[in-house]
A and B are shown apart, each in its own frame.
Chain A
Amino acid sequence: MGQELSAIACGVAAGTLARYLMLRRDFRQYPSYPHAVATHLALGFVAATMGAVAVPAIVAKEYTAVTFLALAATQFREVRRMEREMLQALEHSELVARGKDFIEGIARTFEARNYLAIMISLVTSGTAFFFGIAAGLGAGAVALALCKALMRGKLVKDIALVRPAEFNFRGPNVFVEDIQIMNLGLPEVREVYTKRARALILEPHNDAAREILANVGQRQAIAHDAAALLGVYREVDTAEFTPLLRRNPDTGRVGMLIVPIEPDVKCLVTAVENVPVLESAAVNPLASRAGRCAAD
């Protein structure tokens, strides 16, 4: 009995700790502190408990207890729905929207991290049950490190070269190098752009990267993160200062034009380089014969 309890305690502790370490509250300040963090820690604890009891339950031939794991799937799908709905509701308050793809990516990550907490607690409690507490904690640490390494997604800098660029006006139309961004009617607005705007070019490394940057949701995520980090020179009634990314279909290159509060272009490049590549935008045409053939 003591062995079972200590194995379960190890699993619960490791799973909850893992969930805490996976709550990355960086510049996005999301989940918000303290209440959303408390909610996710509580759910992480529930997930960890489910995972921790699985091995001792199987050993005790309590097979019905394991079916509770199936309940977890339903429970955590709710987490995904909750996050999605909340972020969508808050979208109207953002000067530069996240976009549906980014929201779906965040919601999916929150759901998946609960499953990871289940797996880590299961590995920890299983190992602790058969080989002792020290071995269990060691296995938990390895599982957490593996999760962190394997679940790390790509960033924009992994798929494209981001560099500062020049922009120019041809009549009312503004271009970043050869890429047309938009038509700005008012001379006053064009003046603000001339004084304060910054432009970037994103050059995809290959055909797969080109398709990722073609995704509208991915481009919206880049605009959102850049605006969140450097500020954006717009108010609710000045829609023309919304940052935009447009691509040249001939080359796949993407031009970005933003009017930031902070004009440091190096910081802008860094901000864009560190935007995550969204799961929903990721495609790899080079993995197919047709895609490789077309890329020649």
Chain B
Amino acid sequence: MEISVTKLILAAVTTCKETVSGVPVFYARNQDEQEWITKTLSRVLEAVAHDLGNGTYILVRH
């Protein structure tokens, strides 16, 4: 039987360092860089990018 993990936060991409901890965090210097990193990670990890609205994107495997 195959076991897989779903609904898992794989990484966070933020411009606001103090808002995230506990997962792999990628810091971006500005919003353009943040969107680029988020897009790249979402494709590589096959995850969906969600915007938390506080300057942080999370990448979640559903």
Q: Which residues of A contact B (CB under 8 A)?
A: 171-172, 182-189, 236-240, 242
| Interface pair A185/B51, CB less than 8 Å apart | yes
Q: Is B38 in contact with chain A by the CB < 8 A criterion?
A: yes
Report the minimum CB–CB distance from B15 to chain A (whole Å).
Answer: 13
| Interface pair B39/A186, CB less than 8 Å apart | yes
Q: List 9 A-B contacts (CB under 8 A).
A: A171-B51, A171-B53, A183-B50, A183-B51, A184-B50, A185-B51, A185-B58, A188-B35, A188-B39
Q: How far is the CA of A189 from the CA of B62 in the complex (A)?
A: 17
Q: How far is the CA of A187 from the CA of B38 in the complex (A)?
A: 11
| Interface pair B57/A185, CB less than 8 Å apart | yes
Q: Which residues of the other chain, A, contact B33 by a CB distance below 8 angstroms?
A: none
| Interface pair A172/B50, CB less than 8 Å apart | yes
Q: Which residues of the other chain, B, contact A236 by a CB distance below 8 angstroms?
A: 46
Q: Is B25 in contact with chain A by the CB < 8 A criterion?
A: no
| Interface pair A237/B49, CB less than 8 Å apart | no
Q: Which residues of B contact A (CB under 8 A)?
A: 35, 38-39, 42-44, 46-51, 53, 57-58, 61-62
Q: Is the interface of A mostly helix, strand, loop or mixed?
A: loop
Contact partner of B35 (CB less than 8 A), chosen from A183, A184, A187, A237, is A187
Q: How far is the CA of A30 from the CA of B44 in the complex (A)?
A: 33
| Interface pair A185/B50, CB less than 8 Å apart | yes
Residue of A nearest to B58 (CB): A185
Report the minimum CB–CB distance from B37 to chain A (whole Å).
Answer: 11
Q: Which residues of the other chain, A, contact B47 by a CB distance below 8 angstroms?
A: 239
* Most-contacted residue by chain A among B39, B44, B51, B53 (CB, 10 A): B51
Residue of B nearest to A236 (CB): B46
| Interface pair B48/A239, CB less than 8 Å apart | yes
Q: How far is the CA of A189 from the CA of B50 in the complex (A)?
A: 11
Report the minimum CB–CB distance from B1 to chain A (whole Å).
Answer: 10
Q: How far is the CA of A239 from the CA of B60 in the complex (A)?
A: 10
Q: Which residues of the other chain, A, contact B49 by a CB distance below 8 angstroms?
A: 184-186, 189, 240
Q: Which residues of the other chain, A, contact B39 by a CB distance below 8 angstroms?
A: 186, 188
Q: Which residues of the other chain, B, contact A182 by a CB distance below 8 angstroms?
A: 48
Given A186-B38, A237-B42, A240-B48, 17 new contacts (CB under 8 A): A171-B51, A171-B53, A172-B50, A172-B51, A183-B50, A184-B48, A184-B50, A185-B38, A185-B48, A185-B58, A237-B44, A238-B43, A239-B42, A239-B46, A239-B48, A240-B42, A240-B49
* Most-contacted residue by chain B among A172, A185, A187 (CB, 10 A): A185
Closest 9 CB pairs of A and B: A185-B49, A172-B51, A185-B51, A183-B50, A237-B43, A240-B48, A185-B50, A185-B57, A239-B48
Residue of B nearest to A241 (CB): B48
Residue of B nearest to A172 (CB): B51
* Most-contacted residue by chain B among A183, A188, A189, A238 (CB, 10 A): A183
Q: How far is the CA of A172 from the CA of B57 in the complex (A)?
A: 11
| Interface pair B53/A186, CB less than 8 Å apart | no
Report the minimum CB–CB distance from A191 to chain B (whole Å).
Answer: 12
Q: How far is the CA of A154 from the CA of B40 in the complex (A)?
A: 44
Q: How far is the CA of A189 from the CA of B47 in the complex (A)?
A: 13
Q: Which residues of the other chain, A, contact B62 by a CB distance below 8 angstroms?
A: 239, 242
Q: Which residues of the other chain, B, contact A240 by a CB distance below 8 angstroms?
A: 42, 48-49
